[in-house]
Amino acid sequence: MKNFNNIIFYILIIVLTLSLSVSAGPKNFSPDFFRELADVVNEKPRIEIPDYEILELDNGMKFYLARDRSLPIFEIRGYIDGGKINESSNNAGITSLMTEIMLLATENYGESELSVFKELNALSLNLGTGSDRISISGNSLNTESSELITLLTEVLRRPKFEGNHFKRTVKEYQQLYRQQFYDDSALLNMHFFKNIYGDHPYGYSYNYNLILDFLNQVDSEVVNDFYQKVIEPEDIVIAVSGDFEVEKIKEKLRKSFSNWENNKEELDKNYVDVNSEIHQKIIVVNKADATQANMRMGYNFYTSKYPKRIPFMMGNRIFGSGSFNSRLMENLRSDKGYVYGINAQTRYNDYGGAYFINLSLQPEKALAGMKAVKKEMLKIKNKKEPFKKEELFENINLYNAVFPKAYQHQIDVLDEIIYQKEFYNHSDNYLNNFIKQYNGLEVEEVQKIFAEDIYPNILFTVIVGPKEKILPQFEKAGIDVEVIDN
């Protein structure tokens, strides 16, 4: 029976994957495809908000329960409040290591036993480590819902940090972080974010030297102590969706988690300090074997509670979304041929964010690309070439087509609801309010807000590539550059 269930489960996954592939539309994201999308006026979408019940245990652990009988699947998504923000310079990387080991063995199941238990019951469970939260995701057939809750209970409440699986995982992580020094993108992340975030946990998580120092001396007791401090029931919220009997699931959840006591230790969480000394600074990370230069230009930005997030987002889509109709792509790739690819991104965290532009280009064109980005920013900031109504319409119209695809399944909607309600105090109708707000934007408002919060004159720049091809252009222009030999 278990093997039959496994087969059915994998068939369902394949069907879902194929349906998502079909619904995602054409694979050729060419300029003609984007123009074709722009010519079609898409209706303003509406996301269906599922009915749900909340089960809150005495220890503060919360479950949002929503039935969905469309498929015989049982799914969970959730969050543990507190991620890499809880780390220090002495234990950088410990959160990712901890969550990886939590999935491998528990007090009641050794590594091989836990693996067999998951395989026999076709269970999937994962933990993901973010800057401010640890994410939880899992699924099974509805007939194995009890087994999935058992697995979740074991992983969250009874992880085992001693044994061969611990030693092996530490060695695997050591090898992983050593390899980062040979990867262009990893080097770019390291030198950009550790400077932007400085002496802060957000910066430690990109400092591979710090992480390796920790991994070289870590033991199971250190990881277990950290687990005891940061994994507490009152910090956990989980969405449950699928074909299940509500009262039976409630009973199972109470039995599994109601006697889990909080032992919370308050940890200091500080905001990122902006270091003005890096403004206008340029770092070249020498990677002699690189065939192109990877560049990132940016500065510190607002937290997750930035009130102008929606108009800024739409302004950034016009400026540098990475699509063929964005200004950066049109002017730096299509017109000038400076770059292979370019996009602008915003990263929001609870204690400090970042705004940055990514470029990949020929090493000899690094300075020209850098100047061209600043020029495009100044055109908007100085209102020389302000946003046009047509540009805003195109991006809102395209967003109306793309945005609902992220919420095609009930678990996706419920996941967003618990995240926004529990951590940012938003309403159940957050998604539809979001849609309403970006559809109601006027181009003057978008122009004003985006221009106010872009700062081309303080851009901090990191370039990863062969220094012998990058440095001459800066030396000729009399521009100081710090060189880091990798």
For 67-118, what is each residue's pLDDT tens digit?
999 999 999 999 999 999 999 999 999 999 999 999 999 999 999 999 999 9
- 95 and 238: one domain? yes
Question: Helix (H, G, I), strand (E, B), or coil: what is residue 391?
Answer: helix
- 292 and 200: one domain? no
Distance CA 78, CA 235 (A): 11
In 3D space, the residue among 127, 133, 135 whose CA is nearest the CA of residue 85 turns out to be: 133
**Distance in angstroms between the alpha carbons of the first and the last residue of the chain:** 55
Last residue of a domain, one of 257, 289, 304: 257
| Four-residue CA torsion sign, 19, 25, 26, 27 | negative
Query: Does the residue 190 lie in any domain?
Result: yes
- 219 and 302: one domain? no
Last residue of a domain, one of 257, 289, 305: 257
- 127 and 239: one domain? yes
- 331 and 468: one domain? yes
Strands (E), 339-429: 339-347, 353-361
Write the DSSP assignment of 18-73 as a string of letters.
Answer: HHHHHHT--S---HHHHHHHHHS-PPPP-PPPPP-EEEE-TTS-EEEEEE-TTSSE
Element (H, E) at 285: strand 282-286
| Four-residue CA torsion sign, 157, 162, 163, 169 | positive
Domain that holds residue 133: 53-257
Count of helices and strands (H, E) across the chain? 19, 12
- What CATH number does residue 425 fall under? 3.30.830.10
Query: Does the residue 375 lie in any domain?
Result: yes
- 285 and 225: one domain? no
- Count of domains forming the chain: 2
Burial of residue 70 (CB within 10 Å: 0-12, 13-18, 19+) is exposed
- 164 and 79: one domain? yes
Sorted by sequence, the CB contacts under 8 Å of residue 324 that are 6+ apart come out as 29, 30, 31, 34, 330, 334
10-residue averages of pLDDT along the chain (486 residues): 43 41 42 58 94 97 96 97 96 98 98 97 98 98 98 98 97 98 97 97 97 98 96 97 97 98 85 97 97 97 97 97 86 79 96 97 95 96 97 95 95 98 96 97 98 97 98 97 94
Query: Does the residue 213 lie in any domain?
Result: yes
Q: Evaluate whether 319 touches 332 at the Cβ level (below 8 Å).
A: no
Per-residue pLDDT at 403: 95
Last residue of a domain, one of 257, 285, 308: 257
Query: Does the residue 30 lie in any domain?
Result: no
- 300 and 437: one domain? yes
Q: Which tokens in the block code for residue 455? A: 């700062």
Q: Evaluate whether 304 touches 349 at the Cβ level (below 8 Å).
A: yes
- 250 and 289: one domain? no
- 347 and 247: one domain? no
Backbone angles phi, psi at 59, to 5 degrees: -80, 0
- 215 and 331: one domain? no
Strand pairing of 339-347 and 124-129?
A: unpaired
Query: Does the residue 310 lie in any domain?
Result: yes
- 188 and 284: one domain? no
